[in-house]
Amino acid sequence: MRNYLVLRVIAKLMIMFMVLFALYVQFHGDFGPGGGFQAGVISAAAIVFYGIIFGLPAAREVVPDRLVEVMIAAGVLLYAGVGVAGLLLGGNYLDYFVLGADPVDGQHRGIFWIEMGVLITVAGVMLKIFYMFAGRGDGGGE
Amino acid sequence: MRSWRRSNLPFSKPPITRCNILISQNYPILHVVVPLIAAPLMVLLRHGGFAWLLAAVASWSSLAVSAALLAEVAGGGVISYAIGSWAPPWGIEYRIDSVNAFLLVLVSLIASVVVIYCRESVEAEVAPEQHYLFYTMYVLCLAGLLGIAATGDGFNLFVFLEISSLSSYVLIALGRDRRALVASYQYLIMGTIGATFIVIGVGLLFLMTGTLNLADMAARLREVTDTRPILAALAFLTVGISLKLALFPLHLWLPNAYAYAPSAVTAFLAATATKVSLYVLLRFYYSVFGESAVFIAHPTSDILLVLSLAAMFIASTVAIFQDNIKRLFAYSSVAQIGYITLGVSFDSLTGLTAAIVHLFNHALTKGAIFLLLGGIALRLGAVRFQDIGGIARVMPLTSFGIVLAGLSLIGVPGTVGFVSKWYLVLAAIESGAWWLALLIVLSSLLAVIYVWRFVEAAYFQVPSASVSRLREAPLSMLVPAWLMVAACLYFGLDASLTLSGASQAAAELLPGSR
């Protein structure tokens, strides 16, 4: 894609907005449609887009394989960790009510971190799948 | 859920004081959470040794928690645990009674024994850079299986089923034989169809009852029994779960998956995965649909009976002609599952007791056999009949263990196999079907043949040059395997513990026990 100037310029412009939109979907998930899964897919799509236009090695430099693997695990750990936090604060597993001073505040905090965990893992898994398929044949897959 | 008000929250506000943390209150979830948290930690640490240690800690703590739960519900009580403090049936409920507590102990016990064995076996059979991933999948599979058993929510059950299934596909694919990939893929296709059918069944039930909580569903089903969607749900669930538990014509994924998976995985899955699926079947039949809706309104008994008999005879016969010993015992597993479903088909307290006790006993027996075969695979590299000639001279403990466990498969008195078959025959006679008792004994003769094939190869052939160079399997593999063999003998001689657990579970499933 080295010669397609239009694509390269537009891609650079769009990727910003894609990431921003992902964050909007993520944080607006409390009040409207959206949430961690959708935001994770959109943010991964931004990296996939970057990889398509600028090449797989460039994408791998931005988000290395190692980081992708850490993301997959870290999101799950964050999710499970919120559950354990509920336990440690005297509630049941995944109990958000005890996370804040009053129950509604606790629910907000709980779902915030849960959705964050979902975002991290979903983005990681999407990228992992993309890297594995895109890297097939040139020995970079796995 | 997004627009709730504070006033109508269906939750009971828990005490927020820190001193009130009672770990034992959270037992119903901890046995799932501990392996679930161990899994991502292993990926972050990326170290095979640490991963093994974590897997061992997770399995053993799950076992401790499950044992505590079993002790708590032994008196016939039920523990209900509301996840996120959302009261059931709105929230997800974990419901522990004497049926699933029994299963939780079985699954975590097998996992705890196999994990010790894993260290040396996985070292030899899985590429070093994949060790941490192996243990990640192992604990995920454990978490999934325990979750299926513990949950009282239809959709949660499906999610855990997927967690355990997906991780077991990966575990099988890690086998060093390249055919493991095809076997895993085959299992993936069949397992996914099964899971889809299960979720369609649960969806239909949700459609008709408006609830996913299994206990609530059972109460609401009474109003809509004999409707077409419920019948469809019963059919979808029966076929879907039968695929996962490898009931006779739906067992095609099992022999290859067991034969080419790493030895430790074969032992773990053979002893747990199909057993948990059987539990799901029992749970749906007895606790959700209700005994009369399944067994009296429809010819479920007859269908199960015919398929079980087919499994017992056809799968045993196919087993006799196998060349690969792991495959032989995999076919034998299909036959043994037939005995379990045969017990279910009687639809009586004795039959159900026989099914549940055989579920436990067969897990011990097959676990022992596959663990010991793993020892042979480690030393010899293969487990085909033409390679193992005379192996008893160089690996006496391994061979003798397989023979003892084989006797249990046949059902020789003094082994656990005898206890289960005794109860099966009792149930058959109780239901007035003398010919069935005869068939049970006849099918055991088929087991004599395939176990004898091993005895003949291992004891009566002259070892080849490559066999006579071998040593006995390492202690870290022999000890777990022999623990299982010893359990086969112990529970065969003193069956009071397993039988009381099984009969209590059966009584729990059949409330108006006759």
pLDDT of residue B1: 37
For residue range B241-269, list pLDDT tens digits in order: 999 999 988 999 999 999 999 999 999 99
B115 belongs to a structural domain: no
Is residue B18 pLDDT above 80, yes or no? no
Helices assigned H by DSSP within B23-153: 27-45, 48-73, 98-125, 131-150
Helices assigned H by DSSP within B126-262: 131-150, 154-173, 179-209, 214-224, 228-245, 253-260
Assign B22 a pLDDT band (cuts: 50, 70, 90).
low
User: Token match 């006799």: residue?
Assistant: B320
- Crossing angle, helix B214-224 and helix B228-245, to 10 degrees? 140
Chain B residues in contact with A104 by the CB 8 A cut-off are 6
Distance, in Å, from the CA atom of B66 to the CA atom of B161, rounded to the nearest integer, reads 19
Distance, in Å, from the CA atom of A134 to the CA atom of A131, rounded to the nearest integer, reads 5
- Report CA A7 to chain centroid distance, whole Å: 25
pLDDT of residue B107: 94
Is residue B75 pLDDT above 90, yes or no? no
Is residue B26 pLDDT above 90, yes or no? no
User: Token match 């076919």: residue?
Assistant: B331
pLDDT of residue B513: 45
Helix (H, G, I), strand (E, B) or coil at B67: helix
For residue range B315-352, list pLDDT tens digits in order: 999 999 999 999 999 999 999 999 999 999 988 899 99
A72 touches chain B (CB under 8 A): yes
CB B137 within 8 A of CB B40: no
Is residue A58 pLDDT above 50, yes or no? yes
Is residue B8 pLDDT above 50, yes or no? no
Q: Which two tokens stand for residue B108?
A: 């975590």
> Structurally, how many domains does chain B consist of?
1
Burial of A100 (0-12, 13-18, 19+ CB in 10 A): middle
| Rg, Å, chain B Cα set | 22
B9 touches chain A (CB under 8 A): yes
pLDDT of residue B136: 94
User: Torsions phi, psi of B82, nearest 5?
Assistant: -95, 115
Is residue B71 pLDDT above 50, yes or no? yes
User: What is the complex's ipTM, to 2 decimals?
Assistant: 0.89
Chain A interface disruption, residue of B12, B16, B137, B159, most A CBs within 10 A = B16
DSSP state for residue B94 in the 8-state scheme:
E
B148-162 burial by CB neighbour count: b if 16+ within 10 A, else e? Answer: bbbbbbbebbbbbbb
Alpha-carbon dihedral of residues B430, B433, B438, B439, nearest 10 degrees? -120
Distance, in Å, from the CA atom of A67 to the CA atom of A131, rounded to the nearest integer, reads 12
Is residue B419 pLDDT above 50, yes or no? yes
Q: Which domain holds residue B448?
A: 299-514
Is residue A139 pLDDT above 80, yes or no? no
pLDDT of residue B15: 45
pLDDT of residue A96: 87
B317 belongs to a structural domain: yes
B235 belongs to a structural domain: no
Picking from B2, B43, B85, the nearest residue to A73 by CB comes out as: B43
B29 touches chain A (CB under 8 A): yes
Q: What's the number of CA atoms in the CB half-sphere (13 Å) around residue B36?
A: 24
B178 touches chain A (CB under 8 A): no
B164 belongs to a structural domain: no
Alpha-carbon dihedral of residues B305, B307, B308, B310, nearest 10 degrees? 120
Is residue B377 pLDDT above 50, yes or no? yes
- Torsion sign, CA atoms B271, B277, B278, B279: positive
Whole-number mean pLDDT of chain B?
88
Share of chain B above pLDDT 70, in %: 95
Q: Which two tokens stand for residue B159?
A: 């999610």
pLDDT of residue B6: 39
Chain B residues in contact with A97 by the CB 8 A cut-off are 11, 13-14, 84-85
Those of residues 210-249 in B touching chain A at CB distance below 8 A are none
Is residue B5 pLDDT above 90, yes or no? no
pLDDT of residue B514: 38
A10 touches chain B (CB under 8 A): no
Chain A interface disruption, residue of B22, B27, B44, B159, most A CBs within 10 A = B44
Chain B interface disruption, residue of A84, A97, A115, most B CBs within 10 A = A97
B310 belongs to a structural domain: yes
For residue range B458-478, list pLDDT tens digits in order: 998 888 888 888 888 888 889
For residue range A66-83, list pLDDT tens digits in order: 999 999 999 999 999 999
B207 belongs to a structural domain: no
Chain A residues in contact with B11 by the CB 8 A cut-off are 97, 103
pLDDT of residue B272: 93
pLDDT of residue B510: 84
Chain A residues in contact with B6 by the CB 8 A cut-off are 103-104
pLDDT of residue B388: 86
Distance, in Å, from the CA atom of B169 to the CA atom of B188, rounded to the nearest integer, reads 6
**Which of B287 and B24 is assigned the larger pLDDT?**
B287
**Which of B420 and A4 is assigned the larger pLDDT?**
B420
Q: Beta strands of B246-375 (E only): which ranges?
A: none
B303 belongs to a structural domain: yes
Q: What is the mean pLDDT of residues B136-147?
A: 94
A118 touches chain B (CB under 8 A): no
Is residue B174 pLDDT above 80, yes or no? yes
B311 belongs to a structural domain: yes
Q: What is the mean pLDDT of residues B351-372?
A: 93
Q: What is the mean pLDDT of residues B218-234?
A: 88
